[in-house]
């Protein structure tokens, strides 16, 4: 059983995921790093995931995201951080509000990928999340002429699927330590971590 962190860019999945993995003594993986590895394997050159998107565009990047999602499907007992758009890289995983006549099979395809794993959605209030994202630079997948509009549109499209897939929803608008403790407590309450892991977190928290 994997612990899978989902949420919009900037919600803190990598930081939280690494810490949870360390406390539970599990391996940590994030799809952004896996995308970089796949790109290196295929091109024999290195670019960061941001550079890949800027150089090759959305369609090429989404194809790498599909491959990364397939790869993490073979992992066990790990903590995995999914990129904000990774859930939507497969055309079957279109946002719930994007089309009224989406076939029911699309939902089943997405659900099947996460069956048997624990999915944690890290929520951050939209205004705070937007400020986090644009603090250093405007992402390539935002319209640079109106980044807030791009953010609002993507946020509205992605939120329904984030919420639907989540076994646990945790607010990460405040301190990371509180978020981590909240996740561990939820996992314990739901009996989603084994006895050894439970003892390990009790000593550290």
Count of beta carbons in the 10 Å neighbourhood of residue 144 = 10
Quick check: 103 pLDDT over 60?
A: no
Residue range 169-193: mean pLDDT, rounded: 92
| Alpha-helical segments (H) within 138-194 | 147-165, 176-189
Which of the pair, 192 or 159, is modelled with greater confidence? 159
Q: How big is the chain by its Cα radius of gyration, in Å?
A: 17
State residue 73's pLDDT score. Answer: 87
State residue 136's pLDDT score. Answer: 82
State residue 198's pLDDT score. Answer: 55
Domain positions in the chain:
3-195
Q: How confident is the model at residue 193 (pLDDT cuts 50, 70, 90)?
A: confident
Give the separation between CA 161 and CA 139, rounded to whole angstroms. 22
At 7-38, the pLDDT tens digits run: 999 999 999 999 999 999 999 999 999 999 99
Decide if domain 3-195 falls under CATH 3.40.50.300: yes
At 36-79, the pLDDT tens digits run: 999 999 999 999 999 999 999 999 999 999 999 999 989 999 99
Question: What is the H or E stretch that residue 28 is in?
Answer: strand 27-30
What's 99's DSSP letter? -
Quick check: 80 pLDDT over 60?
A: yes
Average pLDDT for the chain: 87
Count of beta carbons in the 10 Å neighbourhood of residue 19 = 20
State residue 53's pLDDT score. Answer: 93
Burial of 132 (0-12, 13-18, 19+ CB in 10 A): middle
Quick check: 93 pLDDT over 60?
A: no
């Amino acid at each position: 059983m994997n612990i899978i962190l989902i949420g919009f860019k900037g919600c803190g999945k990598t930081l939280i995921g690494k810490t949870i993995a360390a406390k539970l003594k599990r391996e940590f993986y994030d799809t952004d790093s896996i995308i970089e590895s796949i790109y290196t394997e295929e091109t024999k050159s290195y670019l960061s995931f941001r550079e890949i998107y800027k150089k090759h565009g959305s369609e090429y990047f989404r194809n790498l995201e599909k491959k990364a999602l397939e790869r993490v499907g073979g992992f066990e007992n790990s903590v995995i951080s999914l990129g904000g758009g990774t859930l939507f890289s497969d055309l079957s995983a279109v946002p719930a509000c994007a089309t009224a006549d989406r076939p029911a099979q699309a939902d089943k395809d997405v659900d099947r990928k996460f069956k048997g794993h624990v999915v944690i959605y890290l929520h951050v209030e939209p205004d705070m999340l937007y400020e986090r994202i644009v603090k250093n630079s405007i992402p390539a997948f935002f319209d640079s002429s109106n980044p807030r509009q791009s953010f609002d549109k993507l946020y509205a499209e992605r939120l329904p699927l984030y919420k639907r897939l989540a076994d646990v929803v945790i607010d990460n608008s405040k301190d990371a330590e509180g978020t981590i403790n909240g996740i561990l407590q939820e996992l314990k309450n739901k009996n989603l971590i084994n006895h050894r892991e439970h003892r390990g977190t009790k000593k550290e928290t």
